[in-house]
Chain A
Amino acid sequence: MTATRRIAAEFRAAWFSFLRRRTAVFFTFFFPAILVVIFGVLVETQPTGGGLFAEPPGYYIAGYLAVVVLFTPLSRVGSEIARHRDGNRFEKLATTPLRRWEWLLGQTLVNAVVIGLAGLLLLGLIVLVTGASVPASPDLLLLVPFVALAVALFCGLGAVIGRVADSQDGVIAASNAIALPLLFLSETFVTPDLLPAWFRPALSLSPLTYFARGVRAVTYPPAAGGDAAAFNLAVLAALAALLFLAGAFAIPRTD
């Protein structure tokens, strides 16, 4: 009960603190919208079936969702840790009953809600402007755990980056350096057959690959096997638990 009270206090503070940063809120939701417009409308598939986006629009739903679950937690949690460190907030928190995993969980829940809303906006836009169709089945509800677990995973990774980088600038640079390769080498927008055969096994090393495969199994079943969603969800859950714990451990407690 007491942990719940502390996590709720952390969530409330982080939620209002985020919601009142109008620029941050605007660009958090503008980012997925502009992505869909650029990749879903401007970059069109060629009539011959070739081009950058050669697969049917439904294939890329997983990629669009991957963008928001990847970039936003990495940069937000990393920057929050840098801000906390600059303001000696961890020094203060270390003398309160709040534990490190509780702090990270509070931040993760805020990110999950924000990214959940951004994901909904994204799905609506994709259907609206790219003509993709999302199968209305109970399996679609699996998107909720997929997004929540991926957010937890990348919040944990963001915490590790925040610990290692010594400034907010450092966090942003490190986040971009990690996120961009992950985004394009995780079966999101670049299909495996576009990569050299020797490199394809490396795709399995990216946690985002399991998110993309699992989400695709729900939103674009023709591209996935029968039990792909359950298997990828299980792998993602294990990786999320691991990285969340690593992130909680990485949160500074002393100077």
Chain B
Amino acid sequence: MDEALVADEVRKTYGGRKARRAARTGDDASRSGGTVALDGVSLSVAAGEVFGLIGPNGAGKTTLVRALTGTTTIDGGSVRVLGSEPTAVDPARIGLLPQSFSPPGRLTARELVSYYAGLYDEARDPDEVLADVGLAGAADTWYEKLSGGQQRRTCVGIALVNDPEVLFLDEPTTGIDPAGRRSLWSLLSDLAAGGTTVFLTSHSMDEVERLSDRVGLLADGRLVAVGTPNGLIAEHGGKSRLVVRTPAGEEAARAAVDAGFAAEASADELVLRGVSPTDIGEAVAALDAAGVGYDSLAWTQPSLEDVYLSLTGETFEDGPRRRAAPAGGAR
């Protein structure tokens, strides 16, 4: 399969001249006051593939999109888009929705889409594009008067107006309500099915997991993992878990550990890891036998969010957890 996007050892540093010079010569730019945004990122995206990029704020996702679209200069490495340098590729073949994009004001959704359509020799019918993003009924509303979600959908429509072969979407569903997100997911799935290559960044793990053929995790400017969503979850997502809502944290954890489960307790929650569906009854019986009351039980499989938390080292700030494990090892 042809490669639509190739990044090879891409480096990018923000900062003064000294830092940029250090970055270009391969020295430590941070010593010169620079901020390393991309530190030797290599990846390739096949034509027709949907590639999702996740990572914490400041990880370098937007910088990588800019490097791939030629809207930033890189300090090292190389980028190819559809076989050419990003700035040499025919702009009619690519579409971009930048992060925090705000189009010119005091124009209606239709006028905005028509404006961007007018920049291409051949473009889609603006009304058709607006219908695709679910804004046919708001086409004559000024952009400022649209809701946050409608504004973002207008921006997605703008990125689609030239019917691009490669579509870059930097956090496309930020601010869009659940129904709007699902409608956009459906649209992006249709585009991918039609052969459009999609490079997507997002903080929504379910969005990336649902849409992407492959996912890359960027942290501190480095691509720390790449793979299919299922592959990444199997490798880094950890085990399935049983979450018990209970105020008897430590007492419940002891009971679970005595029954041979690996347990983590917090103020109002007990998490048993590595619990298969057939183990649920045994875990519940152990809690009952210890007289531990609980409000609810939820069994979950590992997800992309677990991969993200595992690889970035980030945790939810919901109070301290106490870990306990059975002497004989966790199940």
Q: Give the B-binding residues of A (Cβ under 8 A).
A: 2, 5-6, 8-10, 12-14, 16-17, 20-21, 86-89, 91-98, 253-255
Instruction: Kindly state whether residue B107 has any CB partner on chain A within 8 Å.
Output: yes
Residues of B within 8 A of A86 (CB): 102
Q: Given contacts A2-B121, A88-B102, A96-B120, are A255 and B107 in contact (CB under 8 A)?
A: no
Query: CB < 8 Å: which of B96, B111, B115 contacts A95?
Result: B96
Is the CB–CB distance between A17 and B73 below 8 Å? no
Please report the total number of B residues contacting A with Cβ < 8 Å: 36
Choose the segment among B63-71, B178-186, B259-267 that binds chain A (4+ C-beta atoms closer than 8 Å): B63-71
Q: Given contacts A13-B111, A91-B96, A95-B94, are A254 and B73 in contact (CB under 8 A)?
A: yes
Instruction: State the Cβ distance, A5 to closest chain B Cβ, in Å.
Output: 6
Instruction: Kindly state whether residue B136 has any CB partner on chain A within 8 Å.
Output: no
User: Nearest residue in B to A21 (C-beta to C-beta)?
Assistant: B106
Is the CB–CB distance between B115 and A96 below 8 Å? no
Report 8 cross-chain contacts, Cβ distance below 8 Å, ordered by A residue: A2-B121, A5-B121, A20-B106, A87-B101, A88-B101, A88-B102, A92-B103, A96-B119
Residues of B within 8 A of A16 (CB): 106-107, 111
Instruction: State the Cβ distance, A25 to closest chain B Cβ, in Å.
Output: 11
Q: Which 5 A-B pairs have the closest CB atoms?
A: A9-B118, A87-B102, A20-B106, A13-B115, A88-B98
Is the CB–CB distance between A254 and B71 below 8 Å? yes
Residues of A within 8 A of B71 (CB): 91, 94-95, 253-255
Residues of B within 8 A of A93 (CB): 119
Q: In the complex, what distance in Å separates the CA atom of A91 from the CA atom of B142?
A: 22
Is the CB–CB distance between B107 and A13 below 8 Å? yes
Instruction: State the Cβ distance, A23 to closest chain B Cβ, in Å.
Output: 12
Is the CB–CB distance between B118 and A6 below 8 Å? yes
User: Nearest residue in B to A253 (C-beta to C-beta)?
Assistant: B71
Is the CB–CB distance between A87 and B118 below 8 Å? no
Instruction: State the Cβ distance, A99 to closest chain B Cβ, in Å.
Output: 10
Residues of A within 8 A of B66 (CB): 91, 254-255
Q: In the complex, what distance in Å separates the CA atom of A96 from the CA atom of B95?
A: 8
In the complex, chain B residues 80-137 whose Cβ is within 8 Å of any chain A Cβ? 91-92, 94-107, 111-112, 114-121
User: Nearest residue in A to B90 (C-beta to C-beta)?
Assistant: A97
Q: A13-B111, A17-B106, A87-B101 are in contact. List 15 more A-B contacts (CB 8 A).
A: A9-B117, A9-B118, A13-B107, A16-B106, A17-B104, A20-B107, A21-B106, A88-B98, A91-B69, A91-B71, A91-B96, A94-B71, A97-B92, A254-B70, A254-B72
Is the CB–CB distance between B120 and A95 below 8 Å? no
Q: In the complex, what distance in Å separates the CA atom of A20 from the CA atom of B71?
A: 31
User: Nearest residue in A to B100 (C-beta to C-beta)?
Assistant: A88
